[in-house]
Amino acid sequence: MRRAILAAAAVLSLAVAGAALAQTRPPAAIFTDPPADAAHPARMDVLHIPSGGGQLNAIAYVASGPGPHPTVVLFHGLPGNEKNLDLAQAMRRAGWTVVAPNYRGSWGSPGTFSFRGNLDDAKAVLAYVRGPAGAKLGVDPKRIVVMGHSMGGWVTAVTGGRDANLAGAALISAADMSAEAGRPAAQRLSLAQENRESLAASAREMADEMGSLTPDLGFAAAAPGLARRPLLVVTSNDGLQPAADKLLIDVKERGGRVAVVHIATDHGYSTARIRLESEILAWLEGLK
């Protein structure tokens, strides 16, 4: 009982601290274009990133200015109908380059979609932006943040827990996909059937793989690594907050630098896009 009370108090204190990120006035990058730089203009590049024997489709919103630029790698969810590209544009206006990949087997990227493949793709994208191709984009390899929505939040958590050279990680309504292994097969199949638009995998294949995801691919296993870098957790009224709260407590108890914001809206932040952008830009500003 005492532990439960302490845990609830910890979440409340984190929420209060996170609320300080919010702006009474949205950051200028929400509504103001940056000054034009004729020598180094902002641009969008189409990327093809090697992974798993194929090439992932991706885009880069490259910030204006000579660089090198702090960079966000932005992972979409399952299946990725909401790609948060309005957020990507806002981050670019704030001076961040944003790389947004599509996992193998999703949205035109070749190959077969799989959850473990998503994690391998995340590693491949990070290797790409840290290499010569990233240098051409003006990426600062010492200031790379991973960020993801829903299933992309799971990709971000696992990747952020394993990669020691990231400047931070941000989870937006993150869904711990490893937790699906404990659900009945019929529920996993239903989830897959409802979320396989554009994906090169059958619902049955997706459901079976969800059932095989092990605890080492979950939030709890990611916590020790996430505690070593700045972490932002944004939650909404979509039922995923309890798992996020548990992760927050774990990271906080390990001495992690955590910010948390709850926004009373749906999973896609349909009524709070400006608020979402404002909170994330405020957190990113603190990393510069």
pLDDT, tens only, 211-246:
999 999 999 999 999 999 999 999 999 999 999 999
Angle between helices 151-162 and 219-226 (to 10 degrees): 50
Q: Which residues contact 117 (CB under 8 A, 6 or more apart)?
A: 52, 103, 104, 105, 111
Kindly list the distances between the CA atom of residue 149 and the CA atoms of 27, 154, 172, in Å, as whole numbers in the listed order: 21, 8, 5
Confidence tier at 25 by pLDDT (50, 70, 90): confident
Task: Inform me whether the pLDDT recorded for 50 exceeds 90.
Answer: yes
Alpha carbons 187 and 189: distance in angstroms, whole number? 5
pLDDT at position 288: 79
Alpha carbons 280 and 144: distance in angstroms, whole number? 15
End-to-end C-alpha distance for the chain, whole angstroms: 41
Task: Inform me whether the pLDDT recorded for 83 exceeds 60.
Answer: yes
Task: Inform me whether the pLDDT recorded for 115 exceeds 80.
Answer: yes
Domains defined for the chain, CATH in brackets = 2-285 (3.40.50.1820)
